[in-house]
Amino acid sequence: MRATVMYGPGDVRIENVPDARLIEPTDALVTVGRACICGSDLWPYKLMKPGEPPRRMGHEAIGVVEAVGSGVLTLKVGDVVVMPFAYSDGTCAFCHEGLHTSCVHGGFFGTVELPGAQAEAVRIPLADGTLFVLSVGEDDALMASLLTLSDVMGTGHHAARTAKVGRGKTVAVVGDGAVGLCGVIAARRLGGERIIFLGRHPDRIALAKAFGATDVVSERGEAAVARVRELTGGFGVHSVLECVGTDQAMLTAIGIARPGGAVGSVGVPHYETIPASQPAFYNNLTISGGPAPVRAYIAELLPDVLDGRIEPGRVLDRVITLDQVPEGYRAMNEREAIKVMVKP
């Protein structure tokens, strides 16, 4: 089969690899109907070091179950399923607490250990606990929005939850990628009253406004902090969704949080220590976030997607074939595309 392999910075290729197959009895084999390129895939695309082993990329997909192992109880061949970016057993202490990304038997797709979903097919470990069966046809018009339940919509929701967004709260979203935009949807959905979007790209600003952003701040760094404070009576916002993962983004997030406020960080941190610990301390901020347990959120978000109350699929602004994946990485890296859908 054909699959995406990352070799180094800017070097991502489509190659023929051995067919995905069942290995453990608890595995399912899924034919990929639609996959995505993720903002987090751009980290190795930019920063992969010489000597690092090649990686089979991709952790977001919708597809059809093609085969199941003898130990799989709840799935059958032909089921349309969405895969979360992490696999999990659904039965351990952390899965029961809704924190599937800390599953004691879990792990992540698109890593050196486990081949990813930017491919014709993908092996799903612990399939009963991992996959979520959708009651839709494979070509349903809602497919783009359903696909975001693999990662970006659930991750935006996690940012909003950990930033303690609620009715009447003021919110700011740092990061204008797909996750930040989904964070606007989530903040609105959870009752955020004033939602300030930090971004400067006109297309992304337009989408943020369509999703419920009430204000836009296009300044950066200290100027952005000053502008958000100006918009909020000098105090800052109750809830900050940090959807980037750089120390500068975290610095901005802490700078615009109101005393007693919370920062929900879902951008994979590419810094060693959290900056601005003194202002965070003196302002009694809650610094939270982490890899979103999207498996836990699918059931909550799915009805809103099916009813059309939220349309996170609008972040997928380009559709490509598997052969065009290297071009898709380039387009996302150069910010020509917000998020790319792959149809193998």
Nearer to Zn ion among residue 88 and residue 252 (C-beta): 88
Nearer to Zn ion among residue 5 and residue 86 (C-beta): 86
Q: DSSP string spanning 102-135?
A: G-TT-EESSSSSS--SSBSEEEETTHHHH-EEES
What is each CA distance from 291 to 103, 167, 245, 330, in whole angstroms? 12, 24, 12, 25
**CA proximity to 342, closest of 33, 9, 23:** 33
Smallest distance, Zn ion to C-beta of residue 128, A: 11
Smallest distance, Zn ion to C-beta of residue 102, A: 8
**CA proximity to 265, closest of 219, 36, 280:** 280
Q: Which helix (H) or strand (E) holds 163?
A: none
Nearer to Zn ion among residue 95 and residue 224 (C-beta): 95
Nearer to Zn ion among residue 88 and residue 232 (C-beta): 88
Amino acid letter, residue 243: C
Q: Distance between terminal CA atoms of the chain? A: 11
Smallest distance, Zn ion to C-beta of residue 248, A: 34
Smallest distance, Zn ion to C-beta of residue 126, A: 8
Smallest distance, Zn ion to C-beta of residue 279, A: 36
Nearer to Zn ion among residue 79 and residue 128 (C-beta): 128
Smallest distance, Zn ion to C-beta of residue 297, A: 15
Instruction: Give the Cα separation of 106 and 258 in Å (integer).
Output: 36
Backbone angles phi, psi at 135, to 5 degrees: -95, 50
Backbone angles phi, psi at 282, to 5 degrees: -70, -20
Smallest distance, Zn ion to C-beta of residue 147, A: 24
What is each CA distance from 230 to 69, 122, 137, 236, in whole angstroms? 58, 49, 49, 8
Binding site for Zn ion (CB under 5 A): 88-89, 92, 95, 103
- What letter would DSSP give residue 259? E
Nearer to Zn ion among residue 39 and residue 293 (C-beta): 293
Q: Is the separation of the CB atoms in 62 and 137 below 8 Å?
A: no
Nearer to Zn ion among residue 103 and residue 253 (C-beta): 103
